[in-house]
Amino acid sequence: MILLYYFLVFTAIYILMGWSLYLPYRVGHLHFLPISIMAICAYFAGIASREWGWPFLLIIVVGMLIGLIISYGVSLLIGDAPCFTVVIVGLTSMFIVKTVIENWNLLGGSIGFFNIPSIRYLILWAYLLLLFMGYLMFLIEDSQIARKASVIFNDRKLAASLGIRSKKIALFFHSFSGILAGLSGILYASLIGGLTVDFFSFSIVGTLMAILFVGGYTCMWGVVLAAPLLGGIPILLPDMLIVWKQVIYGGLLIAMVCFRPQGLITRQQIIGLKNNLRRKYK
């Protein structure tokens, strides 16, 4: 049972993080800032609950605000930048956050941050928040702003000629991505009860990339499918295969890029499914 508990909460965290990478990618930005935000909010949650004794709900609200402010601020600078610039900014932010944490004794430095109080009914919190965020994602997916994002993803010049302000759209997607990342960080800190900077490193980039691109980057459901499978690999994989985790992720990524570039679930499939259901119930 306890294994299932961890598996389910980890899955919720990976879905939220998968979405936080998916959203910027809707406007053609492969953005790793959400990983830095996750780290910042995880340490914030640790300090707020252990040192200041804040209630969990307040930590969630403030954590999401922190995520929003950081991502909004960065997006103001790089909202209309090309993908490569965004990648560089995201990776650099990871280095900066890592170095700050390693050298800041308040955050436990390189030893780590311990004794974060556990939260009762964390699994309930995690899935209620996931459902709420999922509902918001669903509304966004069906909105005009998502269609504008698709145009930006396919051709920025075309989007500009249609009067779509790509920076404004990117600002929205980046900001919402920051909120999701903040929430993931808080849930992670509450689940593990301790933090080390090593978790927020390149291995998590690999895991999230695999979740996004294997599941499918054209709709929100790809992440939902891939997160339990790929995020759960370290928990479910037999001992002898655990060392091959990154190879499995890498192999899957290469295979998907070669044979099914849009991932396991595509937007066309979802639209087809919706149309079928509409016809059936008419």
Q: Exposure of 239 by Cβ count < 10 A (0-12 exposed, 13-18 middle, 19+ buried)? A: exposed
The binding track of 169-208 with respect to other proteins, each residue x by CB under 8 A or -, is: -----------------------xxxxx-xx---------
Question: Does 85 contact other proteins by CB under 8 A?
Answer: no
**Is the CB of 173 or the CB of 200 nearer to other proteins?**
200
Q: Structure tokens of 246?
A: 């990154």
Helices (H) and strands (E) counted in the chain, each on its own, are 14, 0
Question: Does 234 contact other proteins by CB under 8 A?
Answer: yes
Among 239, 258, 259, 279, contact with other proteins (rule: CB under 8 A): 239
Task: Kindly provide the residue ranges of all beta strands, DSSP E only, lying in the chain, ordered along the sequence.
Answer: none
Binders of other proteins among residues 47 to 76 (CB under 8 A) are: none
Question: Does 156 contact other proteins by CB under 8 A?
Answer: no
Q: Structure tokens of 58?
A: 């307040």
**Is the CB of 132 or the CB of 202 nearer to other proteins?**
202
Strand partners, 195: 113
**Is the CB of 20 or the CB of 207 nearer to other proteins?**
207
Question: Does 112 contact other proteins by CB under 8 A?
Answer: yes
Least Å from the CB of residue 169 to other proteins: 35
**Is the CB of 114 or the CB of 135 nearer to other proteins?**
114
| 67 closest CA partner among 146, 145, 183, 166 | 183
Question: Does 139 contact other proteins by CB under 8 A?
Answer: no
Strand partners, 113: 195
Question: Does 245 contact other proteins by CB under 8 A?
Answer: yes
Helix axis angle for 33-50 and 166-192, nearest 10°, is: 40
As a whole number of angstroms, the distance between CA 79 and CA 62 comes to 24
**Is the CB of 18 or the CB of 216 nearer to other proteins?**
18
Contact present, 38 and 93 (Cβ < 8 Å): no
For the four alpha carbons of 201, 205, 211 and 217, in that order, the dihedral sign comes to: positive
Least Å from the CB of residue 204 to other proteins: 11
Q: Summarize as ranges the residues that interact with other proteins (CB under 8 A).
A: 2-3, 6-7, 10, 102-103, 109-112, 114-115, 118, 192-196, 198-199, 234-237, 239, 242-243, 245
